[in-house]
Amino acid sequence: MTTTNFFSKIEEHLERKLPLVAYRKPKETIVNCITQNDDQLHLVRDFTESGFVFAPFSSKGEVVLIPSGDFFHLPDFDLDQVVFKGESTSTVPQMPSVKENYLQSVRKAIKEIDNDRFHKVVLSRSIEIEIGTSPIEWFKRLLKTYTNAFCYLWYHPQVGLWLGATPEILLSTINDRFTTMSLAGTQTFKGDLNPKWGHKEIDEQKLVTKFILEALKEKVGYLEEGNLETIKAGNLMHLRTKITGKLKDNLKEVLKALHPTPAVGGLPKEPAVRFIQEQENYNREFYTGYLGELNLRTSRQRSARTNNQENQAYRCITKKNNLFVNLRCMQLKDSKALIYVGGGITKNSVPEREWEETVAKSKTILSIL
Ligand SMILES: C=C(O[C@H]1C=CC=C(C(=O)O)[C@@H]1O)C(=O)O
């Protein structure tokens, strides 16, 4: 399929108001697309379904599925075709009350942490800008700018139109082997790929790692904690620990234990999520939810030598999940973009710095508009 045909097919589908998802996995060149030919809302019941899932932040919300039926892909998207200087032309309206409200919520969160209500909470906000609609152009720009991220464009007429470029894996599996990660702690990239980290960021990320290990230890076959690394995501740097292990055929249970991790909710989970609902003056919907490939099967022809040295072919079926946390994303509503940004608050947080962190995070999306 040519690039022109691939994107025309997506455009035509959007014009007909039919569900679709187009996405590219981190460090890959293949851009995938799954389409649905009616506007039915498919929901995930027990995570044995196959397709592309879109789950909200609230663990009580419905998880939407685009079933894996109509699948096509662009094998090698040529990024040079996207003519884009990487400079934003859109501006965010500056309203002092927005900043003051955020600072007040952060101060309140620190007070609750001092009172032992929870240890960490992730506070967020949404930024609304008037931009018109060119979702396919923005998707191409995400693909060009964030080659290490999971980039997507997702649409369902009953849910909305979302785009994003997330650096965070929630759960990735190949048969019974899984990888997840603890990603937290943020600073802007200033040219050094190995910058110094403060106590606040180190402690914040440690809390996430500890939570994941605790949440999974009784539910999986074995569990291994990787090294603490610094990673670059767009103009930002984060701390990351990879965690690997073996599933026991219990995907639903594992996802329930993980989501929302303290990288997007807080710790302990319940009081932190309650505080988020009390404090944030908007509904996160699918921001800080998760999305990606669910139970996709790939089959490969392999040759095997039998006892009498005869070459025989057999098929090798692999089952994969590739689920990502929905960060650095926006929702398009009419001619408006709603950009979502947040950050982890701990006892060592400095409110002004937390605000700056959300401003820096907003640039991931703002830079492509
Ligand atoms: C909640 C967000 O980021 C999370 C993921 C990485 C680092 C984070 C932090 O440093 O606070 C957040 O936990 C967001 O980008 O909106």
CA distance linking residue 223 with residue 213, whole number of Å = 8
User: Residue with the nearest Cα to atom 1 of ligand 1?
Assistant: 342
User: Residue with the nearest Cα to atom 2 of ligand 1?
Assistant: 342
- Report the pLDDT value the prediction gives residue 77, as an integer from 0 to 100: 85
- Report the pLDDT value the prediction gives residue 88, as an integer from 0 to 100: 63
CA distance linking residue 316 with residue 63, whole number of Å = 30
Residue 296: pLDDT band with limits 50, 70, 90: very high
Residue type, 243: I
Q: Which of 106, 122, 349, when mutated, tests ligand 1's pocket best, judged by the most ligand atoms within 8 Å of its CB?
A: 122
Domain that holds residue 225: 3-79+95-296+318-366
Q: Which of 183, 212, 331, 356, when mutated, tests ligand 1's pocket best, judged by the most ligand atoms within 8 Å of its CB?
A: 183
Residue 350 lies in a domain: yes
pTM: 0.94
CA distance linking residue 272 with residue 269, whole number of Å = 5
**CA atoms within a 13 Å half-sphere pointing along the CA-CB vector of 352:** 0
Residue 71: pLDDT band with limits 50, 70, 90: very high
Assess whether the C-beta atom of 341 lies below 6 angstroms from ligand 1. Answer: yes
How deeply is 214 buried, as exposed, middle or buried, from its count of CB atoms within 10 A (0-12, 13-18, 19+)? exposed
Residue 193 lies in a domain: yes
Instruction: Tell me what the mean pLDDT of segment 144-172 comes to.
Output: 97
CA of 297 to the centre of ligand 1 (A): 31
On the question of pLDDT at 311 being above 70, the answer is no
Residue 310 lies in a domain: no
CA distance linking residue 196 with residue 230, whole number of Å = 10
Residue 196 lies in a domain: yes
Evaluated on CA atoms 357, 362, 365, 366, the torsion sign reads negative
Residue 309 lies in a domain: no
Nearest C-alpha neighbor of 152 from the set 260, 256, 286, 266: 286
Q: What is the pLDDT of residues 220-248, one digit of tens each?
A: 999 999 999 999 999 999 999 999 999 99
Evaluated on CA atoms 258, 273, 42, 142, the torsion sign reads negative
Q: How many domains does the chain have?
A: 1
Q: How many CB atoms lie within 10 A of CB 32?
A: 18
Can you name the residues that pair with 332 across neighbouring β-strands? 161, 337
Residue 265 lies in a domain: yes
- Higher confidence at residue 302 or residue 62? 62
CA of 356 to the centre of ligand 1 (A): 13
CA distance linking residue 276 with residue 272, whole number of Å = 6
Assess whether the C-beta atom of 22 lies below 6 angstroms from ligand 1. Answer: no
Q: What is the pLDDT of residues 254-271, one digit of tens each?
A: 999 999 999 999 999 999
Assess whether the C-beta atom of 343 lies below 6 angstroms from ligand 1. Answer: yes
CATH of residue 52's domain is 3.60.120.10
Residue 69: pLDDT band with limits 50, 70, 90: confident
Can you name the residues that pair with 127 across neighbouring β-strands? 339
Say yes or no: ipTM exceeds 0.95: yes
Q: What is the pLDDT of residues 86-141, one digit of tens each?
A: 666 667 777 779 999 999 999 999 999 999 999 999 999 999 999 877 899 999 99
